[in-house]
Amino acid sequence: MVAAGPSPPLMSMNGSSAPGALPAAGHPVSRRAFLSASAVAAGGALLPGLVRASAASANSPAPSAAEPWASHPQTAPRTERRADAFAVDANGTRTCSGGWQWRFDDIVAGQSYAIATDVAHDGIAVPREALNCTAIWGAPGPKATHPGALWDYLLPAATGPGRVRFSRQLVAPAGATQLTVRATLRWTPTGRTQWSLPRVSALAQAAPDQDPVRISVVTGTNAERRNRDFKSIAENVEFYGSLCAAAGERDRPDLILLPETALQWGLRGHPVDLAVAAPGPEIESFAAIARRHRVRIGVGMYERDGDAVYNSLVLINPAGGIEGRYRKVHLAHGEDLSGVLPGDAFPVFPTELGRIGCNICMDSMAPEAARMTALQGADLLLLPIMGDFRADRWDFGPPVFHEDRWRTIMRAQALNNQFGLAVARNRATGSCIISRQGEFLVWNDGTQPFVTAEVPRQDAFRSWNGSSFRDSMWIVRRPRLYAAYCDPANYGGST
C-alpha cells in the first residue's frame, strides 16, 4: 500500500529570505498558505499558473502544498519563489542536493496521469546528471534519502538551449491517494535553475492491461537431429516447418523462434553456396504457416543479398510478410573468415506484441549487442544460438555444454537489459524463455521438440525501495564516462 499520511518534517533549509519566498523551514505549506505566498511573490495578485491550478477539475489535480526539501542541512540548495517559477540554486558545495517538492491530493488509484514540469538552467556543466525529478505515490517517508513509497522517474528531454522538460505518463498504483512531485538539483557547486509548477492531468482512461506474449521455441529434440542425416535445405524446411505447425496447433503461440541458420543447419557445404534469399520459396513455406496459425515466426538462415551472404534472422508476421530482419553483427571464429558479412545495426521491430529485437549466437559474447538492442527499446530479445564459449570447456578439445554457466549467462542477459528473452539452441538442450526478472519460464532439456511459455509484458514488479528497476537501470547510467567503451583502438587487456 502507498503511504498517504501527512508529510513528515524535512530538515531546515538554507533558503533565501527574500520577500515572497515560500517558507523554507521543514513543514509542508498548506494550500491556503501556498496561494497566499504566491500572491505576495506576484505583488499581491495570484499567478496565472496558480489560478488555473485552483480552478482545476477533478481530472486535473491541483497542488495542495509545496516545500523545499533536502536530505541534510549541508546539502540543501538555495530555494526561492521567483515570479511564477520555483528557484533552486547551487549552494557552493559539491554536496549540494535538494530542491522543491509539490503535493497533489485526490489521486485515484489505477488512473493514468500525464505529469510534466519545465526547468530552465544556467551554469550547470552536465544537466543530464545534475537535474532529477521523480513522482512519489504518497507522502515521502521519514528517511529523506528514500521516498518511503512507490515512485517513478520523470524522463528529461531538452526543449531548447538551457531548458529541459521532465514528463511521464504513469498509472497511479493500488492504494495511491496522493502524489508528490520532487525536483532536485545535485552534484554541482554552481548553477541556477527555475522549475515550473508541475502539471498533472488525468488521461481519458487508464492504460489497458496487456496480455502476456506466448512464445514457442522450436528446435526438435536432440535425438531427432542426431539420428537423421539432413542433406538439403528442403529437408530442414520440412523438419522445422512441421514442428512450427505442431506448436501452432497445440500451443497457439503469438511468436515462434527457430535456431541459428535453421535452414542450413547440419548440411555439408559452404555458407556461400547454401545461402538463400528472403523473400524466397523457403521463407514462403514458413509464411504459409504464419498465415494459417496467425503467428509470427523468426527464421534463422544464411541469407543471400545479391553478392553478399549474412547470418540472419528473418521475422515473418502473421500475414506472411517479412516485418524485420536482423543480420548477425559479431561473427564467430571461422565464420568471420568465410566470406559471410557481419551486419551493422541492432534494429528493433515495433509490433502489437511489443518491440522485438534480435541477437544471434556470438553476439551474446559481446554485452554491447544486448545492451544496444535494449537501448533501442526492445521488450523482447530473440536469440538463436549454437553455443557460448563461456558455457563450454576451458581447455582444448571437443565442446562440452556447461548447463550452470549457460543458465547464468542467459539470466544475466535478461536481467541486465530488462527484456524478455527467448533462446533457441540448435542442439535443443538449453533452449529457454526467461522473464526480465531473470526467472526461467520454461527450459528444454533436449527431449522436447518445442517449449512454450507466456512472457509478461507489463512491468509488474518494484525494487525494494519502491522504484521500477527497469527505470532505475537506465536513469542511473552516465554515458559521458563510457568513451573507452566505444573506442575502436581499445582492445582491453589484449596486447
Q: For 433-443, how does the pLDDT look when each residue is reduced to its tens digit (9 = 90+)?
A: 999 999 999 99
CA 135, 138, 139, 143 dihedral sign is negative
Q: Per DSSP, what are the bridge partners of residue 310?
A: 303, 341
Do the beta carbons of residue 184 and residue 132 sit within 8 Å? yes
Helices 403-417, 367-375: inter-axial angle, 10-degree rounding: 30
| 3-state SS assignment for residue 292 | helix
Task: Give dist(CA 30, CA 195) in Å, integer.
Answer: 20
Q: Average pLDDT in the 199-228 region? A: 88
Do the beta carbons of residue 289 and residue 241 sit within 8 Å? yes
Cell of 244: 512450427
Confidence of residue 457 (pLDDT cuts 50, 70, 90): confident
pLDDT at 432 over 90: yes
pLDDT at 279 over 70: yes
Contacts of 231-238 with CB under 8 Å at 24 or more apart are 231/267, 231/268, 232/267, 233/263, 233/264, 233/267, 233/274, 233/276, 233/282, 236/262, 236/263, 236/264, 236/265, 236/266, 236/267, 237/263, 237/282, 237/285, 237/286
The DSSP string of 358-381 is E--GGGGGSHHHHHHHHHTT-SEE
Read off the pLDDT of residues 154-183 as tens digits, 9 standing for 90 and up.
999 999 999 999 999 999 999 999 999 999
Confidence of residue 5 (pLDDT cuts 50, 70, 90): very low
Read off the pLDDT of residues 301-337 as tens digits, 9 standing for 90 and up.
999 999 999 999 999 999 999 999 999 999 999 999 9
HEC string of 66-135 equals: EEEEECCHHHCCEEEEECCEEEEECCCCCCCEEEEEEEECCCCCCCEEEEEEEEEEECCCCHHHHEEEEE
Q: pTM score, two decimals?
A: 0.85
| Residue limits of CATH 2.60.120.260 in the chain | 31-202
Read off the pLDDT of residues 119-131 as tens digits, 9 standing for 90 and up.
999 999 999 999 9
Higher confidence at residue 14 or residue 174? 174
* 8-state DSSP, 480: G
pLDDT at 412 over 60: yes
Spatial CB neighbours of 316, under 8 Å, sequence gap ≥ 6: 283, 286, 287, 290, 296, 297, 298, 299, 322, 323
Cell of 289: 504457416
Residue 210: what pLDDT? 80
> In percent, how much of the chain has pLDDT > 70?
86
258 φ, ψ (degrees, to nearest 5):
-105, 165
Q: Which of 163, 169, 241 is nearest to 204 (CA)?
A: 169
Helices (H), 155-280: 222-226, 233-250, 271-274
Cell of 367: 554485452
Weakest-pLDDT range from 135-144, 226-235, 356-365, 383-392:
135-144
Weakest-pLDDT range from 79-83, 139-143, 196-200:
139-143
Q: Measured between alpha carbons, how far is residue 230 from residues 237, 355, 483 in Å? A: 11, 35, 47
Burial class (CB in 10 A: 0-12, 13-18, 19+), 490: exposed
Cell of 225: 537431429
**Domain 213-457 top-level CATH class:** alpha beta
Q: Measured between alpha carbons, how far is residue 345 from residues 208, 296, 314 in Å? A: 32, 22, 14
| Residue limits of CATH 3.60.110.10 in the chain | 213-457
The number of beta carbons lying within 10 Å of the beta carbon of residue 414 is 26
pLDDT at 193 over 50: yes
Q: Measured between alpha carbons, how far is residue 389 from residues 109, 203, 392, 400, 402 in Å? A: 48, 50, 5, 10, 10
HEC string of 164-189 equals: EEEEEEEECCCCCCCEEEEEEEECCC
Residue 460: what pLDDT? 62
Do the beta carbons of residue 48 and residue 143 sit within 8 Å? no
Spatial CB neighbours of 364, under 8 Å, sequence gap ≥ 6: 370, 383, 385, 388, 409, 413
Superfamily of domain 31-202: Galactose-binding domain-like (2.60.120.260)
**What count of residues does the chain have?**
495
Q: What is the bridge-based pairing of β-strands 192-195 and 85-89?
A: antiparallel
Q: Which of 469, 444, 446, 449 is nearest to 459 (CA)?
A: 469
Task: Give dist(CA 217, CA 239) in Å, integer.
Answer: 14
